Structure 1
């Protein structure tokens, strides 16, 4: 869990993903379209990926990926992020965290 917190706090926007996950790909594409440049951590390519996946599950991520952190705080999974995007909150959160500028 400590590694998750450490990585999540190093950049304004951090996404934990798996390279084979289609929803992870969609969430990354959404952030790029919004102008953000998130730090991406592919759990299936990290030696500690399995442990980080279990730590994310303990935060309430089910499925564990994609897991999005903005401003060091856990935002949610794909469903949560899409809901925030639809109601306009996601862009505002990214601006507040200085992940995008408008």
Structure 2
């Protein structure tokens, strides 16, 4: 769990994914459309990926990926991120991390 927390707090927006996960891809695209460039960690490419997946589940993720962290805090997976976006709560959280165009 230490590695997950360290990685999640190193940058403003961090997503833990798996390379074959279509929901991970969709969440990543959403952030890019909102002008946020998240740091993406593909846990299936990490030698410690199994342990990271277990840590994410212990932290409260219903599904281990995608696991979205904003400002070092766990936001959740696809359902939570999309719900926040539809309710208008996601963009204010992302303001500090949006790229200026």
- Shorter-chain TM range is over 0.9
Tell me the TM-score normalised to structure 2 length.
0.95
Cross-structure match for 1:88: 88
Cross-structure match for 1:27: 27
C-alpha distance after superposition, 1:20-42 (max 9, x if no partner): 00100000000000000000000
* Gap regions ≥5 residues in structure 1: none
Cross-structure match for 1:37: 37
C-alpha distance after superposition, 1:54-75 (max 9, x if no partner): 0000011121000000000000
Tell me the TM-score normalised to structure 1 length.
0.94
Aligned residues: 100
CA RMSD between the two structures: 1.0
Cross-structure match for 2:13: 13
Once the two structures are TM-superposed, the CA of residue 101 in structure 1 deviates from its matched residue by 5.4
* Gap regions ≥5 residues in structure 2: none
Once the two structures are TM-superposed, the CA of residue 47 in structure 1 deviates from its matched residue by 0.8
Structure 1 runs of 4+ aligned residues shifted over 3 Å read none
Cross-structure match for 1:46: 46
Quick one: structure 1 residues 88 and 101, their matched pair in 2 at CA, closer, same or farther if it must change by over 3 Å? farther
SS in 2 for 1:61: coil
